[in-house]
Amino acid sequence: MPAQLHLTPDQIDHYQTHGYVLGPRVLSDDQITRFKQRIDDILHRRVDFPDHLMGQTTEKSDAAGQLPSLKIVNIFRHDPVFAEMTRSREVSSLAHDLMAAPVRIWEDQIIFKPPFDEDAVLGWHQDYTFWDHVGPPELGTCWIALDDATVDNGCMHVIPGSHRWPMTYTREDLDVNDPHWLMTQQGIPSDADLTPVPCPVKAGHCHFHHCRTFHGSYGNRSDNPRRSYIMHLMPGTTCRIGDNWNDRMGDTESVPVGQILAGPDYPQLPAI
Ligand SMILES: O=C(O)CCC(=O)C(=O)O
């Protein structure tokens, strides 16, 4: 796998126009194996990981003894195995095709959807709703499949072009119990096409989405888990513009309001 991967001009244009793009392979077989093992170790408490960063996304499914659907956040700040992704030249090359240098890491996540869990749904949302204490809203996400992500096992879906819509709601308005809430909000053009587009990618491959793109995912109907490792990235121009509100997120309080988020808490991806 070449370390210097690049998106083609058509892929870059696709991201800018539609708010997402499917990308190439960024993980080796060895990384996929080690990362899956590490997720297993974290989920089964064989390694230390802060409890409050392990959030259950749905009620536990019916299958006896089965793990629930989980979203684990801030992994690179606590786990030495996943911290190696802060040095990924592959992710860095691609991210710098889409965002102003130097691209830094804002947050990361693991999403684990157990087999046969049709309730493991992640409702429609825009990431920036939860990040509006940093800006400008030009952050982007590199979503990496650890298992082949398919429509059957709940791959991510997007609404193309939605990153450009003038949405007016705030975080306080959100109804987190209604997965379709976002689709009913003011700002969606009356002629908008709200047909969800799936983003299937093979294990080790990635896709990118803009922080304002509507996205979500359905449950897992397959007999395998759906695991992904997700890097939320910020262009080098990203500043703190407000106050922390969620202790599952990166802490911005060491950076004065109006200053660029930089320093050891926000590692810079390798220079390209
Ligand atoms: O993995 C998913 O199903 C959704 C991911 C997501 O919401 C994100 O990457 O921001």
pLDDT digits (tens, 9 = 90+) for 231-267: 999 999 999 999 999 888 888 999 999 999 999 999 9
**Is the per-residue pLDDT at 50 higher than 80?**
yes
pLDDT grade, residue 2 (50/70/90)? low
DSSP-assigned letters across all residues of 204-228: TEEEEEETTS-EEE--B-SSS-EEE
Calculate what percentage of the chain has a pLDDT beyond 70. 95
Measured in whole angstroms, how far is the alpha carbon of residue 215 from the centre of its chain? 10
Q: Where are the domains positioned within the chain?
A: 9-240
**123 alpha carbon to ligand 1 midpoint, in Å?**
9
**Cβ neighbours around 228 below 10 Å, total:** 23
| CA–CA gap between residue 170 and residue 57 (Å, rounded) | 21
CA distance linking residue 17 with residue 162, whole number of Å: 10
Looking at 1.10.10.10, 3.40.50.10800, 2.60.120.620, 3.30.70.100, the CATH number of the domain 9-240 comes to 2.60.120.620
Cα three-residue angle 257-259-261, rounded to 5 degrees: 105
Atom 2 in ligand 1: residue holding the nearest Cα: 156
**pLDDT over 90 at 211, yes or no:** yes
Which among 206, 249, 178, 226 has a CA at the least distance from the CA of 95? 206
What would the DSSP string read from start to end of 136-202? SS--EEEEEESS-B-TTTT-EEE-TTGGGS-----GGG--TT-TTGGGGSTTS-TT-----EE--B-
Q: Are the C-beta atoms of residues 112 and 152 closer than 8 Å to each other?
A: no
Average predicted confidence (pLDDT) for the chain: 94
Ligand 1 geometric centre to CA of 156 (Å): 6
**Ligand 1 cavity residues, CB under 6 Å:** 111, 122, 127, 141, 143, 156, 215, 217, 228, 230
- What is the position in ligand 1's atom list of the atom closest to the CA of 216? 4
Asked if pLDDT for residue 108 goes beyond 80, the answer is yes
52 pLDDT exceeds 90?
no
| Eight-class DSSP state of 251 | P
Say what the pLDDT of residue 247 is: 86
For 92, phi then psi, to 5°, come to -60, -45
